[in-house]
Structure 1
Amino acid sequence: MKWHFPTLLRIAVTAFVLTAGASCLGGTKVLAQDALRIAAIVNDDIISVRDLDARVRMVITVSNLPRNAQTFQRIWPQVLRSLIDEKLKLQEAKRLSIDVSSDELERAKRAMEQRNKMAPGSFDRSLRSQGIQSETVLDQMRADIAWVKLVRRRFQSTVEVTTDEIDDALNRLERNRGEPQFRIREIVLDSNDPSVNDEEVAERLVNQLRSGAEFDAIAREFSQGATAATGGDIGWTTREQLGDEVGAAVDDLQPGEISDPIKTIFGYQIIQLEERRILSAPNPAKAKVTLKQVFVPVPPSSSPEAEASQKSIATAVSETAQNCEDMDLLAAELNSPAGTDLGTLEIGELSAQLREAVIDLKVGELSEPVRLPSGFSTIMVCAREEPESDLPGRDEIANQLRAIKFETFAQRYLRDIRRDAFIDTRV
């Protein structure tokens, strides 16, 4: 079974199990006497070689990386950095008395069952079937939930999305109607550490990604951008929003392809293009309308004078009716041979003459008399449901902007915590 990880709950799940005090991956072996060695000290906590080994194996498993000693050697420095950051998050949550209740853990377990299409209540049993201790997974859940609660509590009063910001986002989308729109994922590398060559790390990751590694898993583990928690997914965006360097790279990509490392003011970025589409206006023919008519017949043998007389009656209807109830009354007075209710349907389903007559009508408005083969029909729109726009709604945009702000504050917060911490790496 393949596990899919929730946005804010990156769970350390691996099918590799340390047995008899030793584990092995492509010739790399962690013996019992080595497993308890210290990989890093983070303030008052330690990360053991066993911890590091297990996490590397998890990353290799969920990221679909090559399972060999070379991969292990290449990724362990970045994995250790992730473990250190997790320790710092847990310590900060503890310092500020952030607790995770049993109900919150249960909800997280149920959410994971739903996401992975597991039977309700099968969480513990499913983990045991893979040789995984459920408490290990719950520890990771507890840490991630605590960090989310901490960030929300700390920045709740700071993160605000204004009406102007929503309007600006909608206006940008409107300006770009008819232009390409891109769904992309990103990995941002900006270590702020002169001893780390971000360009070299980016090139290695690109090679692994092009060899089949899972982009979202790599982004969650290695990206230092605000979108890391969502697997690097920045959603739909436009050329204008991407900037010159990234925009130029995306122009040359086909869906599914990975860019070369891109040097930007934020560090190095790696981009995967998932989809490309044209942002278009809603199709007015998809609007649903509820229609009523008053039909005035014109017999086939009628003279031009008689036809003109019937048309004048239809015109009088269009000048008299004020609402849909009036349409029923007028049809009854005229003994109209056709029913008044035309039903509810899409404008595109109407005949060409009726479609042209009602496509621009608002609710309560009447058409001019429409000449049909057997007479004249005057039509009123009683209800109208516009087609869904491919633009996101205001609430969706507000949620997107709010999430980006929270993630940005969270990254800065973690950077400050890391700067003030005592960290001693020993491997």
Structure 2
Amino acid sequence: MTTTGKKIARLGALLTALVLGQPAMAQNLFAPVVKVGDSVVTGYELAQRTRMLEILNAPGDPAELAEKQLIEDRLKLAEAARFGITVSPEDLAAGKEEFAARANLSADEFTAALAQAGVAEESFDAFVRSGIAWRQLVRGRYGRLVTIDQQDIDRALTTAPNGEAVRVLISEIFIPTPPGREAEAQALAEQISQIGTLEGFADAARRYSAAPSGRAGGRVNWMPLADLPANLRGVILGLKPGQVSRPLPIPGALALFQLRAIEEGGYKPYEVVAMDYAAYYIAGGRSEEALRRAAEIKSRVDQCDDLYGIAQGQPPSVLDRGRKTVGEIPQDVAYELAKLDKNEVSTGLTRSNGQTLVFLMLCDRETQLAAEVDEQAVQTELQNQQIDRFANQLLARLKAETRIVRY
């Protein structure tokens, strides 16, 4: 496969031959389907935007989202034109390169991939153009109204570790990799990584995941992004809602993660630097007897020190207890600990090729302010948050004031 071919493969759905066998275009495809003020959205534009959102694995109903986006595009472009804002060819080209880079493609490669799936370059241009015009408008109109002083920055930097922060809502799948079946597991994981819907990922989790969360479709509760291992934070932040990560190798399994939602609170440049945890090892893996033993132990312990009584009289190797820096903790253990509060328990991991169940308990989590804080980055983030609030208010007002008719 060529380098370009490998890059395009990352988009998953772009290489799916969905353009084949589609019904012929309706004769009235260029008739208006929505009127927004004095502007119209045609059936062709709606079909093109819907197709592009399908390719990008956008969560939700692609047709509904496409109509919403196109209505907002008309409002944004009309407001930008009212202030004399136009998008130059140079700005458009830069915007296309920026968007394509999210998939590690050049603009030409991304455009070619879209064309292969039935989306015209003009439709991609329209998508990018409205975003650029709107960004220029809101920054020019509201940028001077937003003032971030040192007090604002200091307040953001001193947010308590347990205060508001970026939280993520993810789903997980763990595909076991028993000796001799690694290639089979990799092929299955690669197939799952192409899933673009929440329902599809949940179904795959119920069918294939070895984690206890598989029964719940792989869903994990909200967790602070800062609590995740550093390498996994980067993976999650690289996803858009609905997207699935590439398979990540961990001891005895391949892990896949789907971002369901992200919630931004106060800026928190804290990081987890160490964890005090206990791992008690139970023979039998995920057998009914071992899980029953784990449930019994859970009912008898309130804190990590209680496990010393459980392990009394047994070989020292059955209990691993102590403080370890983040770099010393195995990746799968670090991820499992990220889901726990103090004195909570997980039985999601195994060792010895699945023959030993890990009774994992978080004793404490040690955090500290990030050693190097870019105050300029904090200021920019705070400015962007305020400008976004102004922009959302403006868009809501434009919607309320504009006559929108669906045919």
- TM superposition score normalised by structure 1: 0.44
Which protein has the larger Cα radius of gyration, Structure 1 or Structure 2?
Answer: 1
- TM superposition score normalised by structure 2: 0.46
